[in-house]
């Protein structure tokens, strides 16, 4: 089932119940010309065939990013997960939330915007995770050109949760070519260095004098091929930044990142309540899949800004906790604010 959200300023967003996927996001440029700014497929069949690996536009869970060696300890018990990026578990394991059919709880249209609330109930033991987890994700498109994503979850047993959306953006328009001349800024003074397999070492390191210093608007391609070891491990950008948390208060999101396309004038500002953000330059795209416009996607044809808790948090007590217990509610918010300049 597909749902279309629209506002009075010419922005429309399409999402489907399969994977909770954002399939299109049509946005005007500085001259009023509209283009789809997210990568995706033209058919449900292609999402079903490829998205377990690529995750275009999908909701990710139970645990976004990686868990080392496919296991974690909680309350004295070791939970073993299926490994889908040996030797680790990525994005909740095989057949994660991005491949589930979500239930529509409600749709709405009013002063707060147009929206749809989706629900998925993950049974106890699914992919090795404890507890029956009820997840509600609400997409709201406002007349302020904001896409607000509310993530909520409750469990009947102690568990771990880390949810995100995995949209790939190209602010010049889907299928328009690479994003290396587009600019990126991330409001973070530090990041979590990783081993060669993208698992954090446990350190929190300064971005100073590294290609990961994106505190000012920087062309995405400027340092993409740096010989920095972290960039070589990831074959580009695919790291987690520890956000400075500017403006986060009372459960409302603070500024996390900005992307800007000089050619079209489109600007994407990201706000979140989450402590981290994974900036990814589509390093796994190799021309083997064809997108919405009939273009074969390659590395740097899009970028992702995945707001999240840190990778491998269940095995890193010093990282912000991802534990969720009965009686508590997981609630995180991310906002994509769209504009032109």
Domain borders along the chain are: 2-179+234-340
- pLDDT number for residue 103: 98
Task: Please give the pLDDT value at position 200.
Answer: 98
Report the chain's mean pLDDT, rounded to a whole number: 97
Where is average pLDDT lowest: 14-18, 88-92, 136-140, 249-253? 249-253
CA 140/CA 146 separation, integer angstroms? 8
Query: Which pLDDT value is given to residue 297?
Result: 97
Looking at domain 2-179+234-340, does it have CATH number 2.70.98.10? Answer: yes
Rounded to two decimals, what is the model's pTM? 0.97
Spatial CB neighbours of 103, under 8 Å, sequence gap ≥ 6: 17, 118, 119, 120
Place of tokens 């981290």: 276
Specify binding-site residues for beta-D-galactose.
65-66, 166-168, 238
Please identify which of the residues 126, 146, 174, 306 carries the catalytic annotation.
306
pLDDT digit string, tens, across residues 281-306: 999 999 999 999 999 999 999 999 99
Annotated binding site: which residue ranges? Answer: 65-66, 166-168, 238
The span from the CA of 224 to the CA of 182, in Å, is 12
Is 166 catalytic? The answer is yes
In the set 55, 91, 126, 166, the catalytic residue is 166
Give the closest residue to 51 by CA, choosing from 2, 102, 81, 96. 96
Q: What does the pLDDT average to over 91-104? A: 97
Query: Does residue 72 carry a pLDDT above 80?
Result: yes
Interacting residues of 31 by C-beta distance below 8 A, sequence separation 6+: none
């Amino acid at each position: 089932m597909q749902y279309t959200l629209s506002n009075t300023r010419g922005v429309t967003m399409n999402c489907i119940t399969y994977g909770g996927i954002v399939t299109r996001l049509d946005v005007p440029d500085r001259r009023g010309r509209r283009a789809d700014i997210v990568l995706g497929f033209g058919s449900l069949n292609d999402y079903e065939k490829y998205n377990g690996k690529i995750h275009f536009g999908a909701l990710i869970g139970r645990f976004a990013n990686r868990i080392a060696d496919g296991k974690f300890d909680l309350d004295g018990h070791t939970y073993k997960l299926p490994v889908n990026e040996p030797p680790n578990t990525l994005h909740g394991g095989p057949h994660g939330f991005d491949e589930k059919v979500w239930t529509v709880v409600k749709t709405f249209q009013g002063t707060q915007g147009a929206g749809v609330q989706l629900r998925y109930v993950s049974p106890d033991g699914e992919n090795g995770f404890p507890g029956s987890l009820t997840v509600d994700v609400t997409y709201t498109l406002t007349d302020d050109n904001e896409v607000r994503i509310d993530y909520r979850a409750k469990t009947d047993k102690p568990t771990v949760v880390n949810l995100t959306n995995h949209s790939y953006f190209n602010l010049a328009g889907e299928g328009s070519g690479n994003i290396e001349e587009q600019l990126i800024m991330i409001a973070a003074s530090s990041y979590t260095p990783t081993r060669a397999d993208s698992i954090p070492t446990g350190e929190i390191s300064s971005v100073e004098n590294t290609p990961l210093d994106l505190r000012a608007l920087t062309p995405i391609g400027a340092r993409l091929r740096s010989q920095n070891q972290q960039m070589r491990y990831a074959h580009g950008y695919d790291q987690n930044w520890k956000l400075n948390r500017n403006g986060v208060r009372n459960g409302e999101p603070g500024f996390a990142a900005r992307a800007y396309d000089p050619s079209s004038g489109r600007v994407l500002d990201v706000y979140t309540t989450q402590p981290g953000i994974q900036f990814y330059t589509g390093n796994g795209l190799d021309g083997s899949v064809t997108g919405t416009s009939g273009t074969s996607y390659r590395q740097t044809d899009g970028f992702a800004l995945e707001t999240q808790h840190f990778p491998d948090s269940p095995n890193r007590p010093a990282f912000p906790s991802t534990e969720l217990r009965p009686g508590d509610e997981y609630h995180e918010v991310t906002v994509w604010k769209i504009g032109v300049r």
